[in-house]
Homo-oligomer: A and B are copies of this chain.
Amino acid sequence: MIAPFGRRSVGVVERREVGAYVVIVVADPLGVEYAPGPGQFYMLAARAGWGAGDGERPFLPRACSVLDARDGSLSFMLEDIGPGTRRLCELEVGEEIWLTGPLGVGFRAPAGRAVVAAGGIGVAAVFALDRVLERPAVVLGFRDARHAAAASLFRDPGVATDDGSVGHQGLVTELLEAELDGGGEATVYACGPPGMLEAVRSVCARRGVAGQLALESPMACGFGACYGCVVATRDGYRRVCVDGPVFDAALLDAVA
């Protein structure tokens, strides 16, 4: 769960598209002591072409949840939403990237049964749970069918889409509520856009259910150095990179 000190240069060994997303796999042959846990993340930067030219940015590395880790390789799932993620999405096999991690505090073992809820690219952060936990209930929300393609990575997910093109038309929190209606003590694991996480948080609060929310925040360093990634919690500002990214839902008044 801790990281080797410093960044390391690793090679991209595979790249594939999963609907609207890009999965890249890098070779990172480290011992088990550096194996990432679910919900942890890495800081990534392409070695070449990281900024400048017509685009100017990126300058800083970008935080990325680890999708999967096995056989000396790590995989990441990316959504192109700006210059950094775009460059990472354009990586070709054979290119080198800078990598630091695994970083952050990931998901913790559940009390009772696990219900996993994720939206959009947030599915990357929870994917490992689907493999690690006994038999979690998984509900996923996407914009449309192109994004919902990522659901195929999971064993048996419930899917909701905004446009109804796949699964339930509506919000993933509706699937979550239905799942929780099933009863019994549960822990909710969630990652997704702020609006979705706030809905999950309020569902957990209303039902008195434990929730673990993987938050995002723009980061400069990823290892607690800059204090730039804070979010407001009941205990004051907390750094997403070292106090999170996974926070107890009860610690948050709101996800903004």
Q: Which residues of A approach B to under 8 Å, CB–CB? A: 46-54, 59
Contacts and interface: CB of A to CB of B under 8 A. Distances in A.
A48 B54 CA distance: 7
Contacts of A51: 51-53
A53 B54 contact: no
A49 B50 CA distance: 8
Contacts of A53: 46-52
B52 A52 contact: yes
Question: Which 5 residue pairs are nearest across A and B when measured between Cβ atoms?
Answer: A52-B52, A51-B52, A49-B49, A50-B53, A48-B53
A51 B55 CA distance: 11
A48 B47 contact: no
Nearest to A59: B52
A48 B53 CA distance: 6
A52 B49 contact: yes
A45 to B, nearest CB: 8
B54 A47 contact: yes
A111 B107 CA distance: 83
11 contacts: A46-B53, A47-B53, A47-B54, A48-B53, A49-B49, A49-B52, A50-B52, A51-B51, A52-B52, A52-B53, A52-B59
A201 to B, nearest CB: 39
Contacts of A47: 53-54
A54 B48 CA distance: 7
A205 to B, nearest CB: 45
Contacts of A46: 53
Nearest to A54: B47
A236 to B, nearest CB: 36
A51 B52 CA distance: 5
A54 B49 CA distance: 9
A49 B53 CA distance: 6
Nearest to A53: B50
A50 B55 CA distance: 10
Most buried by B among A46, A48, A54: A48
A75 to B, nearest CB: 23
Nearest to A46: B53
A54 B51 CA distance: 10
A92 to B, nearest CB: 12
A88 to B, nearest CB: 13
